[in-house]
Amino acid sequence: MTIAFVFPGQGAQTIGMGRALADAYPAAKAIFDEVDDALGESLSRLIWEGDIETLTLTQNAQPALMAASMAAMRALEAEGVTIEKASFVAGHSLGEYSALAAAGSISVADTARLLRTRGLAMQSAVPVGEGAMAAILGLDLETVRAVADEAAQGDVCQAANDNDPTQVVVSGTKAAVERAAVIAKEKGAKRAVMLPVSAPFHCALMQPAADAMAEALGGVEIKSPAVPLIANVRADAVTSPDEIRALLVEQVTGSVRWRESVQAMAAKGVTEFWEIGAGKALSGMIRKIDRALASRQVGTPEDAKAAAEA
């Protein structure tokens, strides 16, 4: 059995995530304390006792989901499972930062600050209401790319997330994405669902955020990860700190090639994926990509104990 550790992206956040881990494992509680210290505020109180609307704000959700993932990693370590159990790490969009923190490439404190910067920069890149994203269900990537090209009409419309064989997300200006939803249904999509997001992530409209991240990442130490990262925009293994830095900048405007990333790991021998942190969205995508692949969630003390015994 060859394992990859994968880390969720935005949308997986819930009030209370990680609290049972923090209560059960001092090292998990220390992660939330470290993130609070790095941000100069009690993000943990928001995560555990706040309201979901405030937690879902991009600048909060991004470091919060990383904290929950790293708390789960510390729980695994307390149960005797280290990062070397995995042959690869990967994460969906912001989850790539969690993957790098788990692999020791970027410190937890730096990762928290980077994700706060990333969230604020992505939110401010496009005025609220001017951008949108839509999930196109039932069309393949090439068809959705053609839909996005047809819908653009001088605006921005791009395939942003290639999640699995049944779902590709488009991102861009609101009018273009709405056109894409109509065109997709005309071309046989089962559904085209406008997503409740506050900004059009992973498209050219995010260039101001990419510029902000280039500056922020330039001031952070990045080490070679303990195990290779399968990068979102390349769907292949990366270990060079300079390449990781460049790809994290490119990721802001580039597509999340999740389907190809999972296929790449499977081709390299991975047979089981451990979803580290909140939710199980990635496990659902992985099943649709290849039903022969196994998955498990690690988000509670019980999950950590069961994984250690597996």
* Residue closest to 192 by CA, chosen among 129, 133, 128: 133
Domain final residue pick, 175, 198, 221: 198
User: In this structure, are 155 and 279 located in the same domain?
Assistant: no
Is 92 assigned a catalytic role?
Answer: no
Backbone angles phi, psi at 87, to 5 degrees: -85, -25
Number of domains within the chain: 2
* Global confidence as pTM: 0.96
User: Is the torsion defined by CA of 124, 126, 128, 133 positive or negative?
Assistant: negative
Look up the CATH number of the domain holding residue 96. 3.40.366.10
* Residue 157 DSSP class: E
Catalytic residue among 93, 171, 198, 255: 93
Domain final residue pick, 198, 228, 243: 198
Q: Are 72 and 254 in contact (CB under 8 A)?
A: no
User: In this structure, are 34 and 16 located in the same domain?
Assistant: yes
Residue-level pLDDT at 156: 97
pLDDT at residue 197 greater than cutoff 90? no
User: In this structure, are 64 and 135 located in the same domain?
Assistant: no
User: In this structure, are 112 and 222 located in the same domain?
Assistant: yes
Domain final residue pick, 145, 167, 198: 198
Residue-level pLDDT at 128: 85
Please identify which residue in the block is written with the tokens 């992505």: 122
Residue-level pLDDT at 169: 98
pLDDT at residue 310 greater than cutoff 90? no
What residue numbers bound the domain in which 223 lies?
Answer: 3-125+205-309
Look up the CATH number of the domain holding residue 163. 3.30.70.250
| pLDDT tens profile 240-265 | 999 999 999 999 999 999 999 999 99
| pLDDT tens profile 101-145 | 999 999 999 999 999 999 999 999 999 889 999 999 999 999 999
DSSP codes joined into one string, 280-302: SHHHHHHHHH-TT-EEEEE-SHH
3-state secondary structure of 239: coil
Backbone angles phi, psi at 132, to 5 degrees: -160, 165
Catalytic residue among 69, 107, 198, 202: 202
User: In this structure, are 27 and 135 located in the same domain?
Assistant: no
pLDDT at residue 198 greater than cutoff 90? no
* Residue closest to 18 by CA, chosen among 4, 5, 34, 2: 34
Cα 291 to Cα 295: distance, rounded to the nearest angstrom: 10
Q: Which residues share a beta bridge with 88?
A: 4
